Structure 1
Amino acid sequence: MTDTAQITLGEAIRKSAIGLAIFAFFTAGIIAITQSLTALQISENEKNFEARQLLSLLPEGFEAEQLLEGARPLSSVEVQQLELLAVDASEPFFIAENPAGEVEAIILPVNAPEGYTESIRLIVGINTNGEVIGARVTKHKETPGLGDQVEITKSNWILGFNGKSLANPEAGQWQVKKDGGDFDQMTGATITPRAIVKAVKQALEFYQLNQTILLNAAQNQGANS
């Protein structure tokens, strides 16, 4: 092979390598941008879903935007026994006020770590009398056709918490019926409802411990709005 041929071959290899590098660079950039846009879309979808779930706990007249704007991290108030909710202190809680500025409910984020496949995420609305106004599952990976009946779109099971408090039923009855408690389990699924019953009860216990702090936070928010 002549020197000229070797130089030509070497240049071709270098050009090919440079071309591949440029292609890889742009491909990686496109993938990164796509992933970023996808993450933003997922985040926006989750926010919209959360807003719908929040509103579903409340009477008509409440606005999602107002609820979301009024969200405060749990770390912003000096609460006791945050471990009852099994969430991070950066998680937000929501203050639902009626048009007159009166607090209707505090909506708490709750995690049920003992789900069948993984933790189950919920929000639990509790009124000033310490009664559940509603609970909704916001994220789970329970078995389709069985554990997913905790979704309001799949069954009315989650509505069984409406009106419940630490006094109704009494402490020993805050279990599924299979365990001697007051709450129905689901056909073919006991672990999932058991985990949620426990999580809702602990949300009520957390509210009872921190009611004054949470309501004061609500009053301060109303005074500053």
Structure 2
Amino acid sequence: MLTLLDKFPSPIRAMLILTFFGIIGSALVAISYAITAAQIQANERAVLTRNLAVLVPDSLHDNDLSNDTKQIANAQALGIADPVTIYRARQQGNPTAVVLNIVAPDGYSGNIYLLVAIAYDGTLLGVRTVSHQETPGLGDAIEERRSAWILNFTGKSLTNPAENGWKVKRDGGTFDQFSGATITPRAVVKAVHKALLFYREEKAGLFD
């Protein structure tokens, strides 16, 4: 008994078979992508929650930082063209800190994505590297798990150090560079300084 495909000439039959398997393959890829995307989002959410808890300890807030957010539509000053989400910390309704997503666009291998936590008075609570493409063994020292360098921002502000101190030592500033890798720390220092300047200018509206 002839199958339905047997009724078609060989070239058309081959095309139909290829089309069928193409559709099946595309469907499998789409399903796999949906599952993977959901897992990636869950992982990113877990990392964010963990970083927020480290950067803004429970003693500084009684609200849920991950749900007390605000969209900043014009974030070019933070190195980000698209709207970004900021996370606000409050205690008994009073603002205590903010966590900003920032980008250092001039890393050695491209964008460096950071979280910067700033206390209400403008003092840095901490900085964490979210993602980057810097050179393993050199530029990746901006990761806390690789070195303690990123922890040196804690306690700094726009007056500590002074304006001309917000550079790496090779440029006349106060921040260490890495042996064989100056571009990466230079980009991070510059981006964190810009975040502090942004906070000073926009502070009043960040907690609305």
- 2-structure distance, mates of 1:61, 1:170: 29
Identity of matched residues, %: 38
Over the aligned positions, Cα root-mean-square deviation in angstroms equals: 2.1
- 2-structure distance, mates of 1:50, 1:142: 21
Partner of 1:51, secondary structure, is helix
Task: Determine which structure has the larger strand proportion and give its number.
Answer: 2
Q: Which has the higher contact order (CA 8 A, sep 6+)?
A: 1
- Contact 1:152 / 1:158 at 8 angstroms: preserved in 2? yes
Aligned to 2:3: none
Matches within 5 A, 1:13-24: 13-24=11-22
Residue among 36, 46, 51 paired with 1:38? 36
Aligned to 2:87: 94
Number of aligned residues: 202
> Which segment is superposed worse, 37-46 or 25-34?
37-46
Cα displacement string for residues 140-188 of structure 1 (whole angstroms, at most 9, x for unaligned residues): 0111111111111111101111111111100011101111111111122
- Contact 1:74 / 1:93 at 8 angstroms: preserved in 2? yes
- 2-structure distance, mates of 1:92, 1:40: 20
Aligned to 1:107: 99
- 2-structure distance, mates of 1:138, 1:69: 19
- Contact 2:113 / 2:131 at 8 angstroms: preserved in 1? yes
Residue among 28, 46, 49 paired with 2:47? 49
After the TM superposition, which segments of 4 or more aligned residues of structure 1 sit over 6 Å from their partners?
none
Aligned to 1:158: 150
Deviation at 1:210, TM superposition (A): 1.0
Partner of 2:107, secondary structure, is coil
TM-score, scaled to structure 2: 0.89
- 1-structure distance, mates of 2:59, 2:23: 52
TM-score, scaled to structure 1: 0.82
- 2-structure distance, mates of 1:146, 1:62: 34
Unaligned runs of 5+ in 2: 1-5
Deviation at 1:10, TM superposition (A): 5.1
Unaligned runs of 5+ in 1: 1-7, 218-225
Q: Residue 106 and residue 9 in structure 1: after superposition, are their counterparts in 2 closer, same or farther (change >3 A)? A: closer
Does structure 1 residue 123 correspond to structure 2 residue 115? Answer: yes
Does structure 1 residue 179 correspond to structure 2 residue 179? Answer: no
1:85 maps to a residue whose letter is L
2:135 maps to a residue whose letter is T
